[in-house]
Amino acid sequence: MSKSYIKLGELASYINGYAFKPKDRGSEGLPIIRIQDLTGSSNDKGFYKGTYPSKIEINNGDVLISWSASLGVYVWNNGKALLNQHIFKVVFDKGEIDKDYFVYAVQFSLHRMRQLTHGATMKHVVKKDFENVLIPYPSLKDQRKVAHVLDKLKESINKKMDELKKLDELIKARFVEMFGDPFNNQKKFNMVKLGDIAELISGGTPSRKNMRFYNGNIPFITTVALGHTYIESKHAQDFITIEGVKNSSTKIIRKNTLLVGSRVGVGKTSITDTDVAINQDIVALNNIDLQSYDLFYLKAVLDKYQYYFDLQKRGATIKGITAKIIKQVQIPVAPIELQEDYHYFVQQVDKSKFENIVYLNKTLSSKILSQLGDAIRD
């Protein structure tokens, strides 16, 4: 392999999507693809029925790159659709490049792109900076060789990911076996409203205009972090100061508190593993009697309500649910011993999941980086 590099801007043209307005989103026509539709974090797909610029149409095999909020590269394979803003469609009309190799090379370069991001609220990469990013550029023959090796590694990754999905399904099946469906209460448990066993508190965001409120040591959590079993400092979007807490409506939420997304990440749940501050899109469930309710159990019950929460979302631009809706959630009052047995079961399954995740993060990721690194060094 040669020691050559090339700028991304010398390989292709990057077509940004269209800034669809809320009124453009309907229930008929072609799907409008946003970043959350690429990452799998959206249950609210919109459609557009009307005329549109041909350049924003995407089809199977198109390479897409999200350059704002969440950096990522994707190969689209879900049929004809329309591209929303903050995503590039890659048009290979310049340098000689294998498409599969290009995708891997961009993935390899994402950590450098993150260092180029701008913006106080929504981080993004300026197109000029993006196009100046260098990737290793071996011969077309060697590009295909690297892509072939990485495709084989990707197969191994997919197998491990399938194992993780099956373990998640096992946890869900175990919950139903032990407690039934909270909606129809087959087990005939007594039911209690969530608002009767927890105090619901939402947070806020310190002013971004005052830098004294930021670069502190208090993890500031937004809904982007929700979904993990535990919320840790590493999941924080920012770190704020105690002055930022005192001068805003954000709240300090203590370790071992259950969090629920009320907007953007509606219905997503996590348990705090450290003291954190939360923004206005999160509701914390405080003062739960842990002698009567296990947090793992409550989290599993709320996860069962995800579809219900999605149906209750309201809002003209950013849809959400109210604290009142969360308070009305019915909780089966299962014996605490049964809840703790479920918690123990989840912990044992999580050990198997952890082993798979370690394999994915260390073994396979290092091999991928090694292959692309060879394209730089050799």
Under 8 Å between Cβ of 349 and 171:
yes
pLDDT tens per residue, range 140-188: 888 898 888 888 877 877 787 788 788 889 999 999 999 998 888 889 9
In a domain, 183, yes or no: no
CATH of the domain at 67: 3.90.220.20
Does 369 or 213 have the greater pLDDT score?
213
In the prediction, which pLDDT does 333 show? 96
Provide the pLDDT confidence category of residue 244 given band limits of 50, 70 and 90: very high
Say whether both 325 and 345 belong to one domain: no
Say whether both 326 and 347 belong to one domain: no
In a domain, 127, yes or no: yes
Provide the pLDDT confidence category of residue 109 given band limits of 50, 70 and 90: confident
Does 44 or 231 have the greater pLDDT score?
231
Number of compact structural domains in the chain: 3
Answer yes or no: pTM beyond 0.75. Answer: no
Say whether both 111 and 220 belong to one domain: no
pLDDT tens per residue, range 340-367: 999 999 988 887 777 666 666 555 555 5
Tell me the HSE value of 60 on the side-chain side, using a 13 A CA sphere. Answer: 3
Residue 355: give the domain boundaries: 139-168+337-378
In the prediction, which pLDDT does 370 show? 60
DSSP characters over 110-163? HHHHHTT-B-SSS-B--HHHHHT-EEE---HHHHHHHHHHHHHHHHHHHHHHHH
In the prediction, which pLDDT does 21 show? 87
In a domain, 355, yes or no: yes
Under 8 Å between Cβ of 286 and 199:
yes
Say whether both 155 and 36 belong to one domain: no
* CA quadruple 158, 163, 166, 168: dihedral sign: negative
In the prediction, which pLDDT does 37 show? 82
Under 8 Å between Cβ of 65 and 72:
yes
